[in-house]
Each structure stands twice: as C-alpha cells, then as structure tokens.
Amino acid sequence: MHDSALESFIEFQDIYLSKLNINSSPKIIEIGSYSVNSNIKKIVSKKFEYIGLDILNGPNVDIVLDNPYKFPFEDNEIDAVISISTFEHTDFFWLSYLEVLRVLKPKGLFYLNAPSNSKYHRHPGDSWRFYPDSSISLIKWGKQNNFNPEVLEHYTNFVKNLDIWNDYVAITIKDKRYKDFYQDRILDKKKFFTNGRTDRSDQILNFKELPQDQSNWGWKIHYKLRKKLYKLKKLLKFYN
C-alpha cells in the first residue's frame, strides 16, 4: 500500500469512522487486506473490530475467501467496509460492490480507494482504473439491485512528490436515508484533489479535463516530441 492511500484512509477515519459508537465495538472489514508493503490495521482505532479478507492467505489476512464475491457475514452486520488498491485487480468488482452493500448496516459506509492511472501491476491481474463518475455508476447498479445507496463524496487525489497513482476515493453510505448522521465531508477542508463532488451539490469541484499524468509538463513535452517524430517518419517514407 502506497503512502497516499494511507493518508486518504486517515482522512476517512478522522471524518467518518470517528462518528461511530465506539462503545459498541464497530466492526470493520477490509477486502483485499493482504499486506504487500503496509496496511491500515496498524492505524485503525483499537476500539474497532478489524477483520481482513483476501483470496490468499498471508500477512494481515484473517479470513481467506473461497468465493471472492461472497463474504462470511450476515445482512446488515458490518459498520464499514474498506477497499484500498483492490478493485483494480477484481475481475467483477460490481459483484463485490453488491456484497459490500449486503453486509453493511443501513448507516454503514463503503470506503473505496483505487488508482485512476499509473503503471501496470498484477496482483494477480490488473484490469481496471477508476474515473470521476465511477462511484455514481456503482450507485445506479446498487439501485438496480434493490439497495438505496448514496455517494457522500468522491474525488481524485492530486499527487505530490513521487506518488504516481492519483487514487480515486469514494465514500458511500448503504442507505441514503441515514446520510445526515455524517455531517462533515473530507472535501470541506481538503486542498489537493481534482474532480470532486459531494452529496450536497452536483457541482464538480476543482474540475480538470486532463488527468494529472497527462497535464504535467513532462507528458506534454513527451507527446509533442513523439508527434514530431511521427511526422518526420512519414516524410522520410514519402521521399524514399
């Protein structure tokens, strides 16, 4: 797990998980919990019950799933489901999403963090990237399957330093009738993000047409050079 993913989870914990009733030992599950280089368990409040799920046994895995699209929990049992750098590797993530909604309590939250671009990385496959409206599409899918979810906010991280992932982050409540339980939003204070939106408005915040990896100067120079080279090759072929 890369540094920006950990930072984003801390923001989610501060704004949302802190509102849960810690006296009831809130139950949190993480799907894709296998620890490659780091994990969130070390920063999750000890007052929460944390359970790590994965399809492989290994570090930070409490339950190995026989079926990645079936979680061993009852309906309306879980307070929060966490998915970090996992949905891009999940063949049918829309099926995982329905299972997330099934096990969540009505006030329960789904925290999704997945890259919007960056390198090809197989664990065991690398199939998807997530654009600004991805969580909105998932909401529509949930409603078609008789759930009542709402995206409380979503955004794409504007990366700093050497981070390359531009994580897409979305926080969804299982039943939108209970969304007023969470009054604050990460985007109320967050500065470094693009194409964000909250449930309070359809306005896109910090709108950017091009993703960060395409709008930086290095990419533009690279693109222009490749374009000139392409034209030069065509000319050489013409004269030969």
CATH of the domain at 54: 3.40.50.150
Helices then strands, counting H and E runs in the chain, come out as 5, 8
What residues make up the domain containing 80? 3-209
pLDDT greater than 70 at residue 162: no
Cα(32)–Cα(231) distance, integer angstroms: 46
> DSSP secondary structure string, 201-228?
-SPPBT--SS-HHHHSHHHHHHHHHHHH
> DSSP secondary structure string, 12-63?
HHHHTGGGS-GGG--EEEEES---SS--STTTS-TTSEEEEEESS--TT-SE
pLDDT tens sequence across 105-122? 999 999 999 988 877 788
* Residue 223 vs residue 64, higher pLDDT: 64
pLDDT greater than 90 at residue 179: yes
Are both 73 and 26 inside the same structural domain? yes
pLDDT greater than 70 at residue 67: yes
pLDDT tens sequence across 220-232? 555 566 677 878 8
Q: Mean pLDDT across the stretch 215-223?
A: 56
Overall number of domains in the chain: 2
Cα(135)–Cα(197) distance, integer angstroms: 11
